[in-house]
Amino acid sequence: MARDKLYVMLVSVLFFLLSACSSAPDLLDKKASYRLIPADDSPLATYVSPLIEDHPDKAGVIPLIDGLDAFIARLALITSANTSIDLQYYIYRNDDTGKLLIWHIIDAAERGVRVRILLDDLTTKELDKGLMMLANHPNIDVRLFNPSYSRTLRGLEFITGFSRMNRRMHNKSLTVDNSASIVGGRNIGNEYFSNNDDVDFGDFDLMFIGDSVDEVSLQFDRYWNADVSLPIEALSTYVIVDKDLAQAIDSIELEREAFESNQYVGRLKLSLLLKQIQENTLEWYWGKAEVVYDPPEKAQRKSEESWLLSDLSRFLSGASREVLIVSPYFVPTREGTKSLVAAAKAGLDIKVITNSLAATDVLAVHAGYQGYRLPLLEAGIKLYEVKADPLYKPSAWSGSSRSSLHAKTFILDRESIFVGSFNFDPRSAMINTEMGIMFHNAIFADAIVTGVEMGLPEAAYTLAVEDGELVWIDEAEGLIVYAEPGAGFWRKFMADLIALFPFESQL
């Protein structure tokens, strides 16, 4: 009898926990807000206006390839902010770069700039208290996309509510004064800005002004005001008191003072982009641009007709001669492989650059990709796999090499380029929300392709087929490798094992 009572009690507790996990909080205080138009005399508007007047209906872009330059660009925009900062990211790490960026954001808020921070909730587990403190500032609002309703039982909620929790906001954008934006593949964290000893992501963003910046702001407004974006105050149980704020301010002041001697700050001062900003010698590429993105309703499996996949299909179908696909996570699927093979047989020159097994930071993705290599190569499609650092041995189970590709870009006919958050895989196509910018400028696109191709012999293996088997050609070393280079037995074994399971739709 006592056992029965215990069983009933345990079931009741479990039912209570599951109910708590699935209950959305009350949102009586959630208010809509929208982009702000900057004052004509703001520093950024003063700089941008004459350039836009000389290039009507066009966007001016600067490629952000180097990690230091990419971080300097963000700091420069935030420092120049006069009216508003809209920040939207999938991952925001509480590391050196994350702190340095947020300190500049706090400075902006202190001088009256309205700040809206929108983060996907998947990796914010340790950030609640800090986000609550930020939201305590009268000029800073923080919202989380598709959040866990239970801040202490996230793992359980992910299991019980997998169909909802599996859908994440992968968008990445920073817009200042509705006058300049940065869109691309980088999250906020040391590994994205050349400040990590464990992994250095090769990534790619575009900083742009002029036409299409307003489209990024409109995109942000849609996500900010969406049903699935909730204020941190409605989610977190932390109660921020004056003592907490005072301690946080003292701590930040001490950290900022100590950070002045940080080696990374010294490296930032050597950034080529910083020198160009200081000397007012920035070189903009001008062309027609279009911002494309998934609607936030994709997280609720709605509005499928307006998902980004249709925009990208339209974009890619415009190629007449050649296509370069750069995607760290490349899982073309059977249907996608058929389409690529058909395009190659019709005369399209297709090159794909992705991570090698040793370089990937997501082993399961490589497991989903590896079976498509032979049919793609046999159709004449060129495959390149980025090398791992030879001095770093990746884990058999997870993790990545010292260097790992993270950029996502598609370039057509050396004339048009897409840069954004979209990977060539089922997760980007059907599960996560994504965004990017299509830019049309032949000089710019050709320069990017030429730069990529020049670096391939040193940075990547060229795949080929010998006697029906895959081989990896290391042109820089003059070697042919007959098994997954640099990966090790157990890493290969795990990739082959994972490939046996029907996980492709989740990759």
Any idea which residues carry the catalytic annotation?
Answer: 170, 172, 177, 406, 408, 413
Contact present, 31 and 255 (Cβ < 8 Å):
no
Q: Where are the alpha helices (DSSP H) in 304-372?
A: 308-316, 333-345, 363-369
Pairing of strands 409-412, 322-326: antiparallel
The H or E element that residue 135 is part of is helix 128-135
- Run of H or E residues at 59: strand 59-64
Report the alpha-carbon distance of residue 299 to residue 224 in Å, rounded: 14
460-466 and 469-474 beta bridge pairing: antiparallel
245 sits in which H/E element: helix 242-259
The beta strand positions in 387-452, using DSSP E, are 403-405, 409-412, 416-420, 435-440
Under a CB-based contact definition with an 8 Å cutoff, are residues 71 and 153 in contact?
Answer: no
Quote the DSSP letter at residue 137: S
Q: Spell 463-487 as b/e; 16+ CB within 10 A means b.
A: beeeeeebbbbbeeeeeeeeebbbb
Q: Where are the alpha helices (DSSP H) in 401-499?
A: 426, 442-459, 489-498
DSSP state of 167: -
**Could you tell me the end-to-end alpha-carbon distance of the chain, in angstroms, rounded to an integer?**
48
Instruction: Give the Cα separation of 473 and 476 in Å (integer).
Output: 9
CA pair distance 129, 134, nearest whole angstrom = 9
DSSP line for 276-314: HHHTT----EEEEEEEEE--GGGGGT--GGGSHHHHHHH
Q: How many Å is the Cα radius of gyration of the chain?
A: 24
H/E segment holding residue 84: strand 84-89
